[in-house]
Chain A
Amino acid sequence: MGGLALALILLGARLESMAPLRTQLSVVAAPFYWLADVPSRLSAQFSGVFSSRSDLLEENRALRAESLILNAKLQKYIELSTENVRLRELMNSAERVKDTVVVAEVVGVASDPNRHMLVVDKGSRDNAFVGQPVIDAKGLLGQIVDVGVYHSRVLLITDSAHAIPVRISRNGLRAVAEGSGRIDELSVAHVAATTDIQVGDLLVSSGLGDRFPSGYPVGEVTRVAIDPGKPFAEINARPLAELDRSRNVLLVFSDKIAVE
């Protein structure tokens, strides 16, 4: 039995043919995730039942105000995006791919606190695929690394095994933001000490590497430490997506990526 398990460990990391097997086996996991999620579903339901009328009215008012503001911003956005398309046509460059999103619910988090992963309730049944980008309302969250039939596993951008190509929105400088293993920190690697990068700069996904679509906000630079003795600056950033709070996330289907 031990030998069989060891063989699985060593082969699993190398053989491509193990992936479909995992997808099939993941059906076993569905009832467990359902059970483990019961408490949070119940508490959400109870708080819905027992919230007072004045709270609801207050929330309703706040949401109306927010919707008004967002709609006003949207008007400007529509104008800007048409202008952007027009300018791109003038420059003969391709129109940016349109992204469609599907809302997924987070049903579990990695029980190993060393790994930053989420389990969401969309799987191969809903056309989720390995490498699919996942975002929330604030920014880029991560990518799908494991697709089951009913669930998939999302690797967050702060996991120490994750890195994402970014660019600084202020000046277009390219860099790579690596996960630090801490939920509120990214480190930007291999940036020369003489580079123009400041605290407060916005990092957006650059679209290089063909995994993440370009232009989604990733993080905000929080620290730039330049040590004259070292060839590279030490740069930290704070992820913009609410990695440890999101209950609903969005799976991004962009035409260009889905074709692959």
Chain B
Amino acid sequence: MDSHAQGLIFVAVSLLVALVLTIAPLSAGLAWLRPDWLMLVLIYWLLAMPENVGIALCWLGGIIQDILLGTVLGQNAFSLAVVAYIIQISYQQLRMFSLRKQAALIALLELFRILVDQWAQNLNGVSQTHWLVFLPVFSTALLWFFLRPMMSWLQRVFVAY
């Protein structure tokens, strides 16, 4: 198996893990902090393998997330496609950013994702929300500090370049 195929398999496995973590049951308090695993993993691949991971894959991942969560069909696909577009037009600069700068950008993107989520849920008739829904902005940005080094280590170990 050549390294390209290995890379694609690793992308697929990491996305599967991210999706399972998205629906893994958490206790009531921790659930508010649940980071946006899918977006983090997709952003990692958008930066690491921009020639293979693009807007279409992010859109597909978003649709699967919508099906899993029972949210409005298309809401996560939409926000992830926009995130992918933003990353894709400037990935060469973003790659050079420090971890801290990247985390700040991720916090902004996550805020956008949450706002889209709230808007779509309002369309669906959910009237009351809690300000705690914005907590993932912080947890997702913080997780990036651990996730990026870990993913690049795993990539070095499992995908021989």
Contacts and interface: CB of A to CB of B under 8 A. Distances in A.
Interface of A: 1-2, 4-10, 12-13, 18, 21-22, 25-26, 28-29, 32-33, 35-36, 39-40, 108-115, 117, 119, 145-146, 153, 159-161, 180-181, 183, 244
Counting chain B CB atoms within 10 Å of each CB, the highest count among A22, A32, A146 belongs to A32
B20 to A, nearest CB: 5
B49 interface: no
Nearest to B80: A5
Given A1-B55, A5-B62, A112-B71, 16 more contacts: A4-B77, A5-B77, A5-B78, A6-B74, A12-B74, A22-B73, A32-B20, A35-B20, A36-B23, A36-B25, A111-B22, A111-B26, A112-B117, A113-B28, A114-B130, A161-B124
Given A1-B55, A113-B28, A113-B32, A9 B130 contact: no
Nearest to A28: B67
Contacts of B75: 5, 9
Interface residues on B, range: 35 or more
Interface string B112-144: 000001001101111111101100000000000
A10 B72 CA distance: 9
Contacts of A244: 28
A256 B73 CA distance: 32
A221 to B, nearest CB: 21
Contact of A25 (B20, B67, B71): B67
B120 A33 contact: no
A33 B63 CA distance: 16
A214 B85 CA distance: 52
B46 interface: no
Interface string B26-54: 10100110100000000000000000000
B70 A153 contact: yes
A36 B23 CA distance: 7
B64 A111 contact: no
Contacts of B71: 112
A112 B23 CA distance: 9
A40 B125 CA distance: 32
A8 B79 CA distance: 12
B154 interface: no
Contacts of A117: 70
A13 B127 CA distance: 16
Given A32-B23, A111-B22, A161-B127, A146 B70 contact: yes
A2 B81 CA distance: 6
A41 to B, nearest CB: 12
B56 interface: yes
